[in-house]
Amino acid sequence: MPPPSHLRLVEPPPRRAARAPLRWRMALSCALLGAFYLLPWLRWDGRQALLFDLPARRFDLFGLTLWPQDLGVLLGLLAVLATALVLLTQLAGRVWCGHACPQTLWSGLFGWIERATARRLRRPALAAAARHLLWAGVALWTGITFVGLFSPIQALVGSQGGPAWSGWETFWVLFYALATWGNAGFLREQVCLDLCPFARVCPSLCDADTPQMHYLARRGEPRGPRPPGQGGVADRGRGLLDAVSASDYSFRAAHPALAGPLPRFASDRLGDCLDCRACVDICPMALDIRSGPHPDCIACGACVDACDTQMRRWHFPAGLIARASPRAMQQQPTRWLRPRTLAAMGTLLVLLGIGLYRL
């Protein structure tokens, strides 16, 4: 008997070689955090390489010294960085948010400490005490490091005699320590959702050619647990669903109260999504990517890694969740040069040209 029309083979799903996940995201986070903590300790010509000395009205940037009359250079540098961020977001999506934003980095570090203490210390009270002790230590050192960009770090940590913080230094160290502790330990994704202005403008920077995270519903639906030993949809010859059925199943799975529960399917008719929820549990923004691309997604890729791990475990091809532009998802070529990217590139080149001319 032929399969029902909504389960017919449309085209074979893409195959990808099974390979161990690259831990590049963790390596990048460690490198960026390490760079931040190292930055105030770098020396250049006998002075701190990066020091915004406000009382002396002198900014040292790796051998370049700026005085109050050079304020335009500093503003120009900020304009270059802001334009570069806009261009990066247009071309690659929210990769800054997902991989380099301080809120993401410190939330990841605090989350790692939380998981590590809970795993190693079985008694909850002991784990909570250890977690808060470590969080407080990291937060305090972060505050000292940040203030060390504005006040010589060696004097701050007392390596040039006794530690004698001024009232302002004490205030800002404690302020940034508290902000780090609160934002990374407790608020986490709420900072991105409710406080970050960049998150508000991101949707207007992205368009149909900007990469986003996508769940391949035609391959994954209908989702569900199944006994081991059955291959993926490609091995079973089921293939991909048609787009309408796939989006119908996804919608019904996401809105059971509205659309009614998904019918139960025989395991050989299921798609490749095991409904294990690994992608949901790991999402720092508490999203279910299977409900479709979401403007709050920070493109961190954690759901991709989590799902690929499950796919490898079940000997299914990786890539059930993938990064692609909406146009690429419709088999159309991605356009890198578009009016908005050309405008950002032009602005960047003009700013860089002015900067080089002034220097």
Nearer to ligand SF4, 137 or 225 (CB): 225
| DSSP structure class, residue 152 | T
Query: What is the C-alpha separation between 153 and 334, in angstroms, rounded?
Result: 47
DSSP structure string for 115-134: HHHHHH--SHHHHHHHHHHH
Nearer to ligand SF4, 169 or 248 (CB): 248
Task: Give min distance, CB of 134 to ligand SF4, in A.
Answer: 24
Nearer to ligand SF4, 270 or 344 (CB): 270
Query: What is the C-alpha separation between 129 and 32, in angstroms, rounded?
Result: 27
Task: Give min distance, CB of 193 to ligand SF4, in A.
Answer: 11
Task: Give min distance, CB of 213 to ligand SF4, in A.
Answer: 4
Nearer to ligand SF4, 78 or 201 (CB): 201
Closest CA to 236 of 195, 267, 259: 267
Query: What is the C-alpha separation between 43 and 254, in angstroms, rounded?
Result: 55
DSSP structure string for 202-240: HHHH--TTS-EEEE-HHHHPSP----TT---HHHHT--P
Q: What are phi and psi of 196, to 5 degrees?
A: -80, 120
Task: Give min distance, CB of 278 to ligand SF4, in A.
Answer: 4
Nearer to ligand SF4, 143 or 220 (CB): 220
Q: What residues contact 228, with CB distance under 8 A and at least 6 apart?
A: 314
Query: What is the C-alpha separation between 49 and 59, in angstroms, rounded?
Result: 10
Task: Give min distance, CB of 97 to ligand SF4, in A.
Answer: 9
Query: What angle is formed at CA 289 by the lines to CA 287 and CA 292, rounded to 5 degrees?
Result: 115
Please give the radius of gyration of the chain, using alpha carbons only, rounded to the nearest integer.
Answer: 25
Question: Which three-class secondary structure string do you get for 311-341?
Answer: HHHCCCCCCCEEEECHHHHCCCCCCCCCHHH
Nearer to ligand SF4, 131 or 290 (CB): 290
Task: Give min distance, CB of 277 to ligand SF4, in A.
Answer: 5
Task: Give min distance, CB of 95 to ligand SF4, in A.
Answer: 10
Nearer to ligand SF4, 154 or 309 (CB): 309
Task: Give min distance, CB of 63 to ligand SF4, in A.
Answer: 39
Instruction: Judge whether 321 and 303 are in contact, CB under 8 Å.
Output: yes
Nearer to ligand SF4, 83 or 250 (CB): 250
Q: Would you say the C-alpha torsion 31, 34, 39, 42 has a positive or negative sign?
A: negative
Binding site residues, ligand SF4, CB under 6 A: 213, 215, 220, 223, 273-279, 282-285, 287, 289-290, 297-303, 306-307, 310, 320-321
Task: Give min distance, CB of 91 to ligand SF4, in A.
Answer: 17
| DSSP structure class, residue 11 | S
Task: Give min distance, CB of 3 to ligand SF4, in A.
Answer: 22
Nearer to ligand SF4, 156 or 184 (CB): 184
Nearer to ligand SF4, 144 or 223 (CB): 223
Query: What is the C-alpha separation between 154 and 148, in angstroms, rounded?
Result: 8
Instruction: Judge whether 120 and 154 are in contact, CB under 8 Å.
Output: no
